[in-house]
Structure 1
Amino acid sequence: MLRREYHGQTARIRWHDLQTYYAHGSVIRVNGELDLVEVAVQLGLDNTARFEAWIAADQVAPVSDTEALAWYESDAQLWAVVAAPWVLVQDRLADDSPEHTRH
């Protein structure tokens, strides 16, 4: 049920449109090797162990100032899904879709 809900809320969004959320520290970067929807599901399930492993491997982290600036300057479009209070983002190729992300 959570997977379907998050998948339905996943969309491409311009980094410029996420500036307010970034300023509040609410944007989390998800490595392109992970399934964005699965990360949202695990967040929704409060799977601390899984998140600790992803964080330790630098696969999930707050967006750095360097990433934010690069995305701003390139007017990047990212995949995003809201897993309140967080916005999870993933920098993937424009022809990629969340259902094709790797686990």
Structure 2
Amino acid sequence: MAQDFRRIDVAAARDVMSRGETLVLDVRDPQSFARGHIEGAENASQDDMTYYLFETPKNKPVIVCCYHGNSSQSYARIFADMGFAEVYSLDGGYDAWAAAERA
């Protein structure tokens, strides 16, 4: 049976990240990623997904981030369907993260 992913806010994402090794995938375009991203995040295109799906341990938490929290849900669904135990989509995307950093 496939796992499900959870939508989480910035505070919950920070909580997950504080527990240790978390894969944070930023699926925005490389130019947006270069302008700003979550510390430790990896910029991943659709072409990179196969690598992450097969090279990441299934018990490692995965947080997917996009611009506003919409596209990340599609990618999070793929990880959940592939049997990853702990998958999250960042609500509000990098926009929400950046706003929280400024607050």
TM-score by length of 2: 0.36
TM-score by length of 1: 0.36
| Larger RCO, structure (CA 8 Å, separation 6 or more) | 1
Choose between structure 1 and 2: higher strand proportion: 1
